[in-house]
Amino acid sequence: MNQEYERIQSLISYAEDCAVNDCSCLYRNGFHLMPPTGWLNDPNGLCKYKGEYHIFFQYSPLEVSGGMKVWGHYVTKDFVNYTYLGAPFVPDEDFDKDGVYSGSAYVDEKGMHIFYTGNVKLEGNYDYTYSGRRADTVLVESKDGRTFTQKSVVIDTDEYPEGYSCHIRDPKVWCENGTYYMVLGARTSDDNGRILVYSSNDMYKWSLSGEISSKKPFAYMWECPDYFVLDDKHVVSFSPQGLESGKYKFQNIYQSGYVVCDEAEPRVIDEDKFVEWDMGFDFYAPQTFLDDDGRRILIGWAGMPDARYTNGEAETENWQHCLTVPRQLRVDVASDGNKKVFQTPVKEVDSMRLGDGLRVKWDRLSCERDCLDVVCKFDEDKCTEPFSITVADGVTFTYTGQDIELTLDEECGKGRDIRKSYISYVKSLRILVDSSIIEYYINDGEQVFTTRYYKKDKGTVLSFDTKGADITVFPMKSMNIEFPYNGFGVEDYQCVS
């Protein structure tokens, strides 16, 4: 541990201590992970190791609008009870001095192997896109998931291939038949998104084994790549920047989605098969991992970089952004007859329901709680009939019989207006409502919409225009988070709804 490490850690502890005591808690969520204080973006280093899930995240504890990037670290055995373990990786070396950027964890019997990008901006007159930035790939290891070895550079920026801009980052590592593979998100010098594929026999020495491109140009940068096999399908996931929006697609400034490929080592993907993970306003840079039960679990950042909409007064609580709930993935047949990756909240989320739920017989329901799980089933024969459900009098989910429309008014939306998708029928809808985020799962996860929203008071008002639907509302308890490092307890900190 060097002096810079100590200096940054003491600033972080101080910021976390102050923030926790100040929290007024209208917008802090009950079952979505947030930064203890300051800014959060991408989920990082997701893995299950020695019985615990590790959820690291991009974290700027000192600035609520983002700034110095470190990794924050939560662990949990059950996605209900969490422990915050502090910020293990901070920019304390020359090769990561401007940010410990995103990355992943690979776990095996030897330990946890964490790969991330060390962001460095050279001093001088640079544009930092085509010149002036370094992005070494760095490795840190751990035997106990708590203490970590020294950082070491495994791919130096100078080793990246010719023809690329300085934007190369976000290593995701996996192993196949004894060989380790790494994908890195990249932007070529002539502004095309790519994924670089490296391989290694030992995780220390890596060599370039190819690149993944698209048939036609498809966005200028691909961030946060991921690759995995799901139900015998080969899935390439990434977050492209620079796509033009259409009526039902690419409605946010940046996207994230996947392509299901037929071949085992995809090199040229068909961009026409790109499917967005989430159709809402706030979803980016997801990452997946496999747990001991063979579940492929995805967690996304419930945020959007460079968006015109904001998080409004939540910033006055001195924090910004959160993660989605963990979602289990599976390949299934969608309403249009094609195979798709479906996403549903992991079953542990169900265990936060309190009681047997309330069958809705009214048009309007006022709940004391901020955390609800709303389960709607539509009559099989009538699942093309229009309906709408409104949360907090300002967030309306409408099915027109053909389109889904998620609309937010100015007060709740802070600039979020409308997002649309096409779907030929809706037979089920699950709505996870939290203090300032809502996730909508349509047809058992065929489509998902995630949005942040900002209400005026505690409690949740629901309005239904849903003839003949069978709707149950479950109040939800909050997750527990322990903060052993700073000596404060859950009661002082958490907004228990």
Please, what is the end-to-end C-alpha distance for the chain in angstroms?
40
In angstroms, give the least distance from the CB of 101 to ligand FRU.
Answer: 3
Number of H helices, E strands in the chain: 4, 36
User: Whole-number minimum distance, CB 226 to ligand FRU, in Å?
Assistant: 12
Strands of the sheet containing 193-200, edge to edge, are: 164-176, 179-188, 193-200, 207-214, 268-269
Can you tell me the distance from the alpha carbon of 208 to that of 164, in angstroms, rounded to the nearest whole number?
Answer: 14
Nearer to ligand FRU, 67 or 210 (CB): 67
Q: Interface with ligand FRU by CB under 6 A: which residues? A: 41-42, 58, 69, 101-102, 117, 169-170, 223-224, 284-285, 305
* Least distance in angstroms from the C-beta of 41 to ligand FRU: 5
Nearer to ligand FRU, 101 or 106 (CB): 101
**CB nearer ligand FRU, residue 111 or residue 240:** 240
Q: How far is the CB of 250 from ligand FRU (least distance, A)?
A: 17
Smallest distance, ligand FRU to C-beta of residue 411, A: 28
Short-list 285, 257, 236, 254, CA closest to 104: 285
**CA–CA dist 43, 58 (Å, integer):** 6
Q: Is 158 a catalytic residue?
A: no
- For the bound state, the minimum distance from the C-beta of residue 117 to ligand FRU, rounded and expressed in Å, comes to 6
Rg (CA), the chain: 22
Contact 191, 240 (CB under 8 A): no
Q: Which long-range contacts (CB under 8 A, 24 or more apart) does 406-414 make?
A: 406/279, 406/280, 406/281, 406/440, 406/449, 406/451, 408/281, 408/451, 408/453, 411/454, 411/456, 412/453, 412/454, 412/455, 413/309, 413/453, 413/454, 414/309, 414/310, 414/311, 414/312, 414/452, 414/454
State the residue for tokens 């422990």: 83
Q: From CA 416, how far away is CA 310, in angstroms rounded? A: 8
- Distance between CA atoms of residues 43 and 34, nearest Å: 11
Nearer Cβ to ligand FRU, position 225 or 445? 225
On whether the CB atoms of residues 303 and 321 are closer than 8 A, the answer is yes
278 near 256, Cβ under 8 Å? yes
Integer Cα distance of 367 and 2 in angstroms: 51
State which residue, 151 or 340, has the beta carbon closest to ligand FRU. 151
Q: Least distance in Å: CB of 252 to ligand FRU?
A: 13
Which candidate, 189, 415, 172, 382, places its Cα nearest to that of 281?
Answer: 415
Residue 364 contacts residue 462 (beta carbons within 8 Å) = yes
Catalytically annotated residue among 42, 92, 96, 226: 42
321: burial class by Cβ within 10 Å (0-12, 13-18, 19+)?
buried
State the minimum distance, in angstroms, from the CB of residue 303 to ligand FRU: 8
Active-site residue list = 42
